[in-house]
Structure 1
Amino acid sequence: MSLRPPSHLADASAAEAAFDALGHEILAEKAAALGRAGQRVEETLARLSDNADEEMRPRLLKEAATAVHAYFIQRELCGLRRHEAVIREYGIPKAVLVRLGAM
């Protein structure tokens, strides 16, 4: 004699498994997007620090501020609310943070 779980429990398990797979895929995409946003921050900050041309500086500051803002938003979507350590790690200049209204 074999036992089977009630049919309403079997359907719930399949739905939960599908939801877990979807949740896992969403988390993976959030992490990948966070990585891409962090890479863009690194690139824009490098261009800002490497460029000595005063005429280009406002445009480079704007690009860096936009990249940092997008990165902060992506971090918050991942549940990471505090940005102080990231600001130190990336060495985000105050001129960029001022454009975000952070200072």
Structure 2
Amino acid sequence: MTEEHPLSAEQLTERLADPRLHEWRHEDGALRRTVLAPDFTTAVRMLDQLVEDAARLHRTPNVAISGRTLDFSVAPPAGGSGSGTFSEEDVELCRRIEYAVGTRTGVE
């Protein structure tokens, strides 16, 4: 297990102000973003690209896929001393999701 780098609420707000993360919102205890891919195949390829990055970060985003719509949710891991607290690793996962989304053309 890797060391966690917890963020205060103010630090999280600062991280989400990054222009690369402008589509993310902090809602219901999670960081959320919806992506509309050009088609179902592209949506699945986005997920495929993300799998190894998520494993390296020891993070697993929640993903709901319906047709070409992907709903991503990144929540802090349950348990531990920082339970319920977002970390640098959670924000990095959001960045990796953005990278996977951004490498596909025509994505909203």
| TM-score, length-scaled by structure 1 | 0.32
Greater relative contact order (Cα < 8 A, sep 6+):
2
Structure with higher helix content:
1
Structure with higher strand content:
2
Question: Larger radius of gyration, structure 1 or 2?
Answer: 1
